Amino acid sequence: MEQPAPRRKGRRARRLIIIFVVLAAILVGADFGMAAFAEHEISQKAREQLKLTDDPSVSIKGFPFLTQALGGDYGHISVYASGVPVNDKLRDVELNAELYDVIAPLSDVLNGNTKSITIGKLDGQVTLKASDIARIAPLDKIENLRIDPSSEEYVETGVDTKKKDTTTTNADGSEVTDDAKAGVRMSGELQIAGQKVEIFCFAMIELKDGAITFAPKRLQYGNDKETTVVEDIVQAKFLKSFEATVKPGDLPFQVKPTGVKVNPGSVTIKGEMRDVTFAGLPVKGK
């Protein structure tokens, strides 16, 4: 007896679905495999270019990867590295670079050739930890240096009429990360009159002539909840102990800083470049 046609069609449809699923899995696996290979190649070249001790983390955004690779046009690539030593002072720098509109022919990526790779826009962020900042003179004379954000108002006046949250936001509610200055509270121990005294310095971090400067405004004992006025003679003598400058040449990317942000325990410096080649990135030592 001849089998009903609907049953044969049902089996045929199931086979097609299975074949389609298998092919899709193979294509997705191949896509991720090619992306992983390309990320590894870029990571190794970034390690050489930025003079890092370890391969940075590289993530090529967007799916599928193969369409980007075949066209040689990548919308967004992220590069992240931590524990980056820059010089004898900065030993634990965190680097985050967002690359946009990257033109990289597939043959060059596969061959590890970075000379023809171009970057439409690079947003770079370098984070300096308090332990590194404490090695910059004259801050290296302060024991147990700690860094925390403070409102600009409190730094300048000693009074904070706003809420405790010192985060600055744009009109749409997004966080501002490219201010040219920011308030900071630095605390540590100094020798005063033969005694080790914990002292707090409220300062502004400002971008001046491409450098990052710590400009101390006033000193106090205690904290911002229980203020004890520091005598004028102590202010005059020790205020300069909290002055410091970080020059662009001290950072992995030798670009003009465009913004600064204070985080608990660290300071993040933002810079931007446009229309550069990967091989021609102005990095330290080049």
Summarize pLDDT for 6-40 with one digit per residue, the tens. 565 566 656 656 655 555 555 555 555 666 767 77
Give yes or no: residues 224 and 106 share one domain. Answer: no
Cβ atoms of residues 123 and 102 within 8 Å: no
Does 279 reside within a domain?
no
The pair of three-digit structure tokens given for residue 210, joined into one six-digit string: 């491409």
User: Is the pTM above the cut of 0.85?
Assistant: no
Burial of 8 (0-12, 13-18, 19+ CB in 10 A): exposed
- Closest to 127 (Cα-Cα) out of 100, 97, 168: 97
Angstrom distance (rounded) from CA 170 to CA 22: 47
The pair of three-digit structure tokens given for residue 67, joined into one six-digit string: 């369409």
Give yes or no: residues 109 and 66 share one domain. Answer: yes
Give yes or no: residues 146 and 57 share one domain. Answer: no
Classify residue 248 by its DSSP letter: G
Give yes or no: residues 148 and 231 share one domain. Answer: yes
Does 283 reside within a domain?
no
- 246-250, 255-259, 260-264: the lowest-pLDDT one: 246-250
Tell me the mean pLDDT in the region 168-191: 68
Give yes or no: residues 99 and 233 share one domain. Answer: no
Does 90 reside within a domain?
yes
Does 52 reside within a domain?
yes
Does 261 reside within a domain?
yes
Contacts for 107 with CB less than 8 Å, ≥ 6 apart: 113
| Domains in the chain, number | 2
Give yes or no: residues 65 and 35 share one domain. Answer: yes
Give yes or no: residues 142 and 255 share one domain. Answer: yes
Tell me the mean pLDDT in the region 241-256: 70
Give yes or no: residues 139 and 264 share one domain. Answer: yes
Q: Residue 58 sits in which domain range?
A: 12-116
Band (pLDDT 50/70/90 cuts) for residue 75 is confident
Give yes or no: residues 84 and 159 share one domain. Answer: no
Determine the pLDDT at residue 173: 45
pLDDT at 284 over 90: no
Average pLDDT of the chain to the nearest whole number: 75
CA atoms within 13 Å, Cβ hemisphere of 283: 19
Does 84 reside within a domain?
yes
Does 1 reside within a domain?
no
Contacts for 33 with CB less than 8 Å, ≥ 6 apart: none
Give yes or no: residues 140 and 215 share one domain. Answer: yes
Give yes or no: residues 264 and 147 share one domain. Answer: yes
Give yes or no: residues 219 and 88 share one domain. Answer: no
Q: Cα 40 vs. chain centroid, distance in angstroms?
A: 20
Does 192 reside within a domain?
yes
